[in-house]
Amino acid sequence: MGHAAIASTLLDVSAAEEPAGPVSRQERKQRTRQALLDAALDLLADRSFASLSLREVAKGAGIVPTAFYRHFSSMEELGVALVEETTRTLRGMLRGARTEQRGYGGMIRASVHTLHRHVREHEDHFRFVTRERYAGPGAVSRAIAVEMRMFSSDLALDLARFDPLRTWPTEDLHLLADLIVTAMLGTVAELLDIRPGDTAADERTLVAAEKRLRMILLGVPHWQP
Amino acid sequence: MGHAAIASTLLDVSAAEEPAGPVSRQERKQRTRQALLDAALDLLADRSFASLSLREVAKGAGIVPTAFYRHFSSMEELGVALVEETTRTLRGMLRGARTEQRGYGGMIRASVHTLHRHVREHEDHFRFVTRERYAGPGAVSRAIAVEMRMFSSDLALDLARFDPLRTWPTEDLHLLADLIVTAMLGTVAELLDIRPGDTAADERTLVAAEKRLRMILLGVPHWQP
DNA sequence: AAGTTGAGTGCACAGTCGTACACTGACTAG
DNA sequence: CTAGTCAGTGTACGACTGTGCACTCAACTT
């Protein structure tokens, strides 16, 4: 629970905690905002976004319901902010994966590995995105769709640097990228379904993910319009 | 008016309609049950299952909220029933697709075509399934997962009759089947996002779907453990 | 030093929610 | 013909929802 989430209660004896940074006005506001996001993500661990109430999130962040509106005009807006937060994580992952690339084999292994690491490191974010991706109309799903398209485009750009793919039409390149992204997302969903301790299941899932990617890429050298 | 079930509006002038079959006790019950399922599916057209209330569904079916419990002990149970209903649709589709099979090319074309037809014929069912598939824990998502596994297994069985695949270990066969099912589901999601009139977009999506399948299957002849 | 701003509070409201309870009356089994 | 079953009704409850309103009081501006 939000360990006093900034939001001073009447008696906040919160003595130490943190180097007690500068408590400027906007700084405090931003902290509460973050507390709201954190609380939402926390509650989202085993529920869908649609079933999340403004009051719950506010309570989780340690503020009164009406104060919620000082930060977001609606739950939907908070949801979009959550998507943006997740995006930063994803971009970081892509950047990391971009550095090391040799042939196909090495790239597949490395990609799956970094994906695994990031999923385990930010389970809540990934769970949120995979859950809400197809959750129906609404700003959240739309924001996710946009983000996924960007992600896929980035991947297509990266793929274009490989030898047999250099000459592909961009359309086919995007198709391949979508295929890979979709397969990866499936892997993410599988990983998130594994119960916490089971490292053997993790390993099995990763092997399956590598195989899946290899299957997809096997056809690449034989492709023509 | 209550007994009228089948979604009687205030002014239900339902005079004729149907050959007015035998109105036995259990027959009436089953009809109301179906009315509940229909009402739920109808409301689900643009909302998530989690945001669906028992009262809404009951009202949609033309009964009073407490009467809901004569048919389902909870909304979750209704959700599972909805999954089962959808399953019948899917099985019908598989059976249809199984009949005609030549080489890869023909099969791909035929599969995508039948998928398209069935999606358009049962949009609400498909929307429901794609939405709730990853909607989090809960009986509905679990039921969908089970059904998807069965579906994938059936496909694997069918695939095993093709020449290069005959010798594959079942594990790899399941991997391939999963890949195909996932790709198809992606296509379903795309189809459902197309706004009603746009047949050109339909066509584009189908072409992309065929390409995607071809890409996956291209690697098949070159696969080894 | 005096005044303004705005994040957070507390109350109050009208709805909606799931569900408990006692009921009615058309079908059905004896 | 009679007694029983049970799908559907109507009321009533306590809990929870989003949000409007008037407020406080620390941080900022002038």
Q: What is the pLDDT along chain B (225 residues), one digit of tens a residue?
A: 334 333 333 333 333 334 455 688 999 999 999 999 999 999 999 999 999 999 999 999 999 999 999 999 999 999 999 999 999 988 878 777 776 666 677 888 999 999 999 999 999 999 999 999 999 999 999 999 999 999 999 999 989 988 899 999 999 999 999 999 999 999 999 999 999 999 999 999 999 999 999 999 999 999 987
Interface probe, candidates B43, B48, B172, B193, chain A, greatest A C-beta count within 10 A: B48
B51 at the A interface (CB within 8 A)?
yes
- pLDDT at residue number A216: 96
- Tell me how far apart the alpha carbons of residues A146 and B151 are, in angstroms, rounded to a whole number: 30
From chain A, the residues in CB contact with B108 under 8 A are none
CA/C1' separation B62–D10 (Å): 15
CA/C1' separation B43–C22 (Å): 32
- List bases, strand C, within 7 Å of protein CB: 6-12, 16-22, 26-28
From chain B, the residues in CB contact with A208 under 8 A are 175
Residues contacting residue B28 through CB under 8 Å, at least 6 positions apart: B3, B5
Report if pTM > 0.85. yes
B189 at the A interface (CB within 8 A)?
yes
- pLDDT at residue number A163: 87
- pLDDT at residue number B89: 82
A194 at the B interface (CB within 8 A)?
no
Closest CB from B46, B136, B218 relative to A47: B136
- Tell me how far apart the alpha carbons of residues B93 and B95 are, in angstroms, rounded to a whole number: 5
How far, CA to CA in Å, does A52 sit from each of A40, A57, B71, B132, B219?
Answer: 8, 8, 27, 16, 44
Query: Please, what sign has the CA dihedral across residues A184, B178, A46, B68?
Result: positive
- Tell me how far apart the alpha carbons of residues A224 and B215 are, in angstroms, rounded to a whole number: 10
Ranges of chain A with pLDDT below 70: 1-22, 99-103
- pLDDT at residue number A94: 76
Footprint of strand D on the protein (CB under 7 A): A 23-28, 53-56, 65-66, 68, 74-75; B 1-3, 5, 25, 28-29, 32, 62-67, 70-71
- pLDDT at residue number B11: 32
- pLDDT at residue number B100: 63
From chain B, the residues in CB contact with A136 under 8 A are 46-48, 131
A207 at the B interface (CB within 8 A)?
no
Is residue B89 within 8 Å of B198, Cβ to Cβ? no
DSSP 8-state class, residue B166: T
Shortest Cα distance, chain B CAs vs residue A224, angstroms: 10
- pLDDT at residue number A100: 63
Closest CB from B47, B134, B219 relative to A215: B219
Interface probe, candidates B180, B215, B216, B217, chain A, greatest A C-beta count within 10 A: B215
Closest CB from B46, B183, B220 relative to A179: B183
Residues contacting residue A119 through CB under 8 Å, at least 6 positions apart: A126, A188, A191, A192
- List bases, strand D, within 7 Å of protein CB: 6-12, 16-22, 27-28
- pLDDT at residue number A96: 73
Angle between helices B199-218 and B170-193 (to 10 degrees): 170
Element (H, E) at A152: helix A139-159
Each residue's pLDDT tens digit, A136-185: 999 999 999 999 999 999 999 989 988 899 999 999 999 999 999 999 99
Determine, for residues B48 and A222 on separate chains, whether the beta-carbon distance falls below 8 Å: no
